[in-house]
A and B are shown apart, each in its own frame.
Chain A
Amino acid sequence: MSKIDPAPAGGGAVAAAAPPPRGNALWVFALRVVGAVAIPIVAFYILWVTFDFLRDSEANRVIVVGVAVVVGAGGVFFLYWAMNRAVELLPQRYREGVRPWIFVGPAMVLLSVFLVYPVINTILISFKDAQSQSFVGLDNFKFVFTDESMLRSIRNTLGWMIIVPTAAVAIGLAFATLADRLRRGEAVAKSIIFLPMAISFAGASITWRLIYSFRPAGFGSNIGLLNGIMLGLGQNPVDWLSQHPWNNLYLMVIMVWMQTGFAMVILSAAIKSIPDEIIEAARIDGASEWQVFRRIMVPSILPTIVVVATYMVINSLKVFDIVFVMGNAELNQTEVIAERMIRWFFIGQDFGKGAAIAVVLFIVVIPVMVWNVRRFREEEMIR
């Protein structure tokens, strides 16, 4: 591995140099100050100028994209670099304390505005009435935990949170492991599993409607695949999506179909980064494939499995589109928390109830967060 060039990129303001002659020293000092001050200001101005340009939605699209990419990537990087230079100007003992904040700062700002602020807003609304005019205390929460439809949605969501991640991670992991062994066709196989992620949600819903569609006898032939199979077997067509409780599973299949590709891709990359020697050594020692998988591979990629599982659990927690679009959830008893939230907030025009349901989501995610903290601490101990 090559040695890293210790000189920081661009400009030599901090590089230690032999003290120059008197007159020069003043000039250098002045330039140093101007440079240090001007650079962040220029960074800001450039961003401001392009900001104005980008606000004009009539501008030529190609130029807009070009400018955005340059500013978005280049400018953002420039901003970080400028902030880093600013840190360099600090006295030695403050430098490493402040520097991490430079790295996470912009992310924190964006997250605060776009996610934290709405969360706070939602929590506030959840204590107010339907039109957010006056406080009603815990009434909305009382509703959330006593309404029959809400309770059913909580039960259903728990089902989603358990079944979908398990299926997606299991299938993704198995597929990634097996595909890893293929001599040819690995890319094609993986691309096929990943394909559903490229389909927009509208496309996915039409896809599965062509599977589950139902028409009673006499109103036209059935165009859904499952009913086609039923008719082929001499059975009557079934209104799949209204058969509770199984209809929940039929909907979960859709989500597994769409999300397994994500799990597979990430797990596959993790599997490939396990050093070959470890695996080969285990095989030479006489371990069977299953033992290699269980005792070597899975523990090595456990952090990644945790990440993927966490993401899938949270995604299942907030599933909404699939349930909302495929029929009337309350009639089919397929309600889930996020779907109830949308229905109350937007269609029922009751902002208080909708927000209270959203707060339930926030609360349910806390155990997941706690689990993640523990895992990180463990991982960092090992490192």
Chain B
Amino acid sequence: MRRLRMLSLLSIVLLIGGACKANEDEGGATGAATEANTGKVNVLGAGEPEEMAALQGIADDQITGVDYTVEFESAGNFEQDVQVRGQGGTLDVILLPQPGALPGLVTSANAVSLEDMGYDIGELEATFGTPFMDLGLVDGKHYGIPTNINLKSMIWYPKDDFDKAGYKVPTTWDDLMALSDQIVADGGTPWCVGFQSEGSTGWPATDWMEDIMLRTAGPEAYDQWYKHEIPFNDPSVVTAGKDFGDVMFHPDYVLGGAENTPGLAFGDAPLPMFDEPPGCWLHRQASFIPAFFPKNAKAGVDYDWFPFPSITTEGGPLFAGELAMVFRNSPEVKDFVDRFMGTDFQCAMGGITAASRISPNVNVGSDCYSDEILADSAEVLKEGLTAGTARFDASDLMPAAVGSGSFWTGMVKYMKEGPSSLDGILSDIDSSWPSS
């Protein structure tokens, strides 16, 4: 009896107290910020944690005096994280390395167009070049701002040993083949090639194909290729594949042989260049590969690079890059994006040693780059962009099913099965192209 009375009294007290507390808390605790210019802006990038941390450092230095905070995150599993968070609605800004995925994200994750954010597209095109801006074009609206660019058509070599042996840097494909023959005659193995990259195994081989395609069939055919205006087994593509095979399947050219290339990690592949005498002398790879070189190797002394030579046409530099996409249209996000693509931030970005970032902003000078190699690459890229000969990595522009799927696996199969498999593989890739 007494228990019941006490319990009921307690209940009533709690009822009233609870109601008051609930009203109090109403104003306090919130989950997501929706007020103007306050709260957090999260930026999801595909780069390594060190790279994101370095960008965070720049942001902390430069983005001051505002009511919001910026947090750069490195995604462990970028494609999956972007899809889940994009569709769920918890993304603000992403740094997308594969423009081929952009149209899909626009639909599934409700990306905000640059026009809706109030940007003047003409200004942006003047800053970044129309070809690059066009990569973010979907149904007449722009969805991507270039934020990073890196050069891919580079062949690395051990400079000190080259000079000692008296080798000359080649400027044409024929010269390159002659150099390879000379190395073989001198008792060495010219090429180090590795394609293994866990779930992405095969992507370095696509880079080879693209460089060759650009320099045999030319930029226009290249465009038709990645847009699927010509089939994947078009004669021009077959020619490029055959040229690729001329290097890979030549009995003495590749250290370990072509069939071992899919099992060799791409980061391990250049290491024999630093042995004495060098296990190999030539390595074709993008501008980020110095991060995998031995720590004591010095740029310009122990190693250097030369551009991928012309074959039947001059071609242009192959590059890859990043487009920033926005998913939440609010003042703080716009403010952040303005600063991020501005020259101050972009210039500071060139000084990051944890990653080789080059700014696509044409107003950023070469003195921003801490590394000579980066500075030279930036020059080559600017030339290519302004001349209109530079081309984005094709596999990043193709639909994901091909560019991150059948193209990669097809190249690996080519290495394992040899030259005769080329036609079958190219038509398989062609038939895997999604119909929509």
Contacts and interface: CB of A to CB of B under 8 A. Distances in A.
Interface of A: 10-13, 17, 28, 31-32, 34-35, 38-39, 41-42, 45-46, 48-49, 52-53, 55-57, 129-133, 214-220, 239, 242, 324-325, 327-331, 342-343, 345-351
6 contacts: A38-B15, A131-B107, A219-B255, A327-B198, A331-B262, A348-B405
Interface string B355-381: 000000000000000000000000000
A331 B202 contact: yes
Nearest to A48: B22
B15 A42 contact: yes
Nearest to A45: B18
A53 B107 contact: no
A342 to B, nearest CB: 7
A99 to B, nearest CB: 22
Given A31-B5, A35-B4, A129 B12 contact: no
A-B pairs with the 3 shortest C-beta distances?
A: A45-B18, A56-B29, A38-B11
Label chain B's interface by main secondary structure. helix
B217 to A, nearest CB: 27
B83 A46 contact: no
Given A218-B272, A239-B263, A35 B8 contact: yes
A45 B18 CA distance: 6
A13 B201 contact: no
Contacts of B413: 331
B271 A46 contact: no
Interface residues on B, range: 35 or more
Contact of B271 (A220, A325, A347): A220
B54 interface: no
B263 A217 contact: no
B79 interface: yes
B36 interface: no
Interface in B79-99: 79-80, 83-84
Contacts, number: 147
A216 B256 contact: yes
A307 B434 CA distance: 43
B197 to A, nearest CB: 8
Contacts of A329: 199
A346 B79 contact: yes
A34 B8 contact: yes
B101 A349 contact: yes
Contact of A328 (B7, B8, B14, B409): B409
B263 A242 contact: yes
Contacts of B25: 49, 52-53
Taking each of A39, A129, A218, A329, which has the highest tally of chain B beta carbons within 10 Å of its own beta carbon? A218
Contact of B83 (A38, A52, A324, A346): A346
A34 B15 CA distance: 12
Contacts of A239: 263
B80 A346 contact: yes
Given A46-B14, A220-B271, A52 B22 contact: yes
B434 A350 contact: yes
A242 B14 CA distance: 65
Nearest to B270: A219
A311 B409 CA distance: 34
Nearest to A347: B79
Contact of B11 (A34, A130, A342, A346): A34
Contacts of B202: 328, 331
Contact of A347 (B272, B405, B412, B436): B405
A216 B201 contact: no
Interface string B267-284: 011011000000100000
Contact of A129 (B14, B404, B436): B436
Interface of B: 1, 3-5, 7-8, 11-12, 14-15, 18-19, 21-22, 25-26, 28-31, 79-80, 83-84, 101, 104-105, 107-108, 194, 198-202, 255-256, 260, 262-265, 268-269, 271-272, 279, 399-401, 404-405, 408-409, 412-413, 434, 436
A11 B3 contact: yes
Contacts of B199: 324-325, 327-329
Given A31-B5, A346-B79, A349-B104, A39 B11 contact: yes
Given A38-B8, A46-B14, A132 B108 contact: yes
Contacts of A41: 11, 15
B100 to A, nearest CB: 9
Contacts of A42: 11, 14-15, 18
A6 to B, nearest CB: 17
A64 B149 CA distance: 44
Contact of A52 (B29, B108, B255): B29
Nearest to A345: B83
A193 B166 CA distance: 61
A105 to B, nearest CB: 22
A78 to B, nearest CB: 12
B1 to A, nearest CB: 7
Nearest to A339: B199
A44 B265 CA distance: 57
A327 B286 CA distance: 22
A215 B15 contact: no
B401 A350 contact: yes
Contact of A331 (B22, B255, B401, B412): B412
A7 to B, nearest CB: 11
A46 B400 CA distance: 49
Contacts of B101: 349
A146 B146 CA distance: 40
A41 B16 CA distance: 11
Contacts of B104: 130-131, 349
A328 B263 contact: no
Contacts of A349: 83, 101, 104-105, 108, 399-401
Contact of A55 (B29, B262, B263, B434): B29
Contacts of B80: 342, 346-347
A45 B260 contact: no
Contacts of A324: 199
B84 to A, nearest CB: 8
A233 B413 CA distance: 30
A215 B194 CA distance: 11
Contact of B256 (A17, A35, A218, A328): A218
A12 B4 CA distance: 7
A215 B73 CA distance: 32
Most B CB contacts (10 A, CB to CB) among A13, A55, A220, A348 go to A348
Contacts of B19: 45
Contacts of B28: 52, 56
Contacts of B108: 131-132, 349, 351
A13 B271 contact: no
B40 to A, nearest CB: 11
B79 A130 contact: no
